[in-house]
Amino acid sequence: METGARLLLTTQSATKVYRTPATRAEQRTHIRLGPNASLESVPDPLIAYRGATYRQATVIEMDGSASLVMAEIVTPGWSPDGALFGYDEIRLRNEISVDGRLVVLDNLLIRPQTGAAPIDGMAFLEDYTHVGSLLVMDARVDAALLNELHDLLVPLAGGCNLGMSLLDGGLAIRVLSHATEPLEAVIRAGIDFLRFRWHGQPRLDLRKY
């Protein structure tokens, strides 16, 4: 993206990954944000069905004056036996560099059928089934802004498990839930807060159907 460019990027509908018996579905994205450029990436949820393997790698190179807001929601798809974790693997890897320096390496790996501990057990997803993330990289992020977001989002989280952290020049929010709608409510509220605070824009409305 060129100097001062602004882009709101979304999808036409949910990304659905079905059984991948021979290989895996894969998506690779490389984005460059020039000075004062702004990118909001707000895709519909990723839905992985039984037997699916999906890997997504996103590399973002930013100027220090650029702004990035990137959301992601992962939800398990329907399976004949009613199991919620029928997919084989989901890996979402984000590499974000600012002024040539790697500042974020976020690697979410979910392999329900392998590992010593069950995916729905302690220290993993516990009894939650859906995962939402919001990564924000912007020089205007500080502890005061994180505290404001915390006060805004906690009442909306309800039965969700909400975590928030400051990054080097940004912040990360991760939410666990039992359904897609609560995740969307929390993430969209965070995006709307930033849109109004930084750009004076109204809330995001991406209704497509």
| Predicted local distance difference test score (pLDDT) of residue 78 | 72
pLDDT tens-place string over residues 29-38: 999 999 999 9
How far is Cα 9 from Cα 76, in angstroms, rounded to an integer? 23
Q: In the chain, pLDDT over 90 holds for what percent of residues?
A: 69
Domain ranges of the chain: 6-199
Helix (H, G, I), strand (E, B) or coil at 146: helix
What is the dihedral angle through the alpha carbons of 136, 105, 8, 180, rounded to the nearest 10 degrees? -80
Looking at the predicted structure, is the pLDDT value of residue 116 above 80?
no
CA triple 203-205-206, angle to 5 deg: 145
Helix (H, G, I), strand (E, B) or coil at 153: helix
Instruction: Retrieve residue 108's tokens.
Output: 């979410």
Please state the rounded mean pLDDT for residues 80-100: 85
Q: Please enumerate in sequence order all residues whose Cβ is within 8 A of that of 102, keeping only pairs 6 or more positions apart, or say none.
A: 95, 96
Q: In the chain, pLDDT over 70 holds for what percent of residues?
A: 89
Q: How confident is the model at residue 81 (pLDDT cuts 50, 70, 90)?
A: low
Helix (H, G, I), strand (E, B) or coil at 193: helix
Helix (H, G, I), strand (E, B) or coil at 147: helix
| Predicted local distance difference test score (pLDDT) of residue 123 | 46
Q: How confident is the model at residue 206 (pLDDT cuts 50, 70, 90)?
A: confident
| Average pLDDT over all residues of the chain | 89
Please state the rounded mean pLDDT for residues 95-118: 84
Looking at the predicted structure, is the pLDDT value of residue 96 above 90?
yes
Looking at the predicted structure, is the pLDDT value of residue 118 above 60?
no
| Predicted local distance difference test score (pLDDT) of residue 122 | 42
| Predicted local distance difference test score (pLDDT) of residue 114 | 59
Q: How confident is the model at residue 120 (pLDDT cuts 50, 70, 90)?
A: low
pLDDT tens-place string over residues 130-173: 999 999 999 999 999 999 999 999 999 888 899 999 999 999 99
Q: How far apart are the first and last CA of the chain?
A: 29
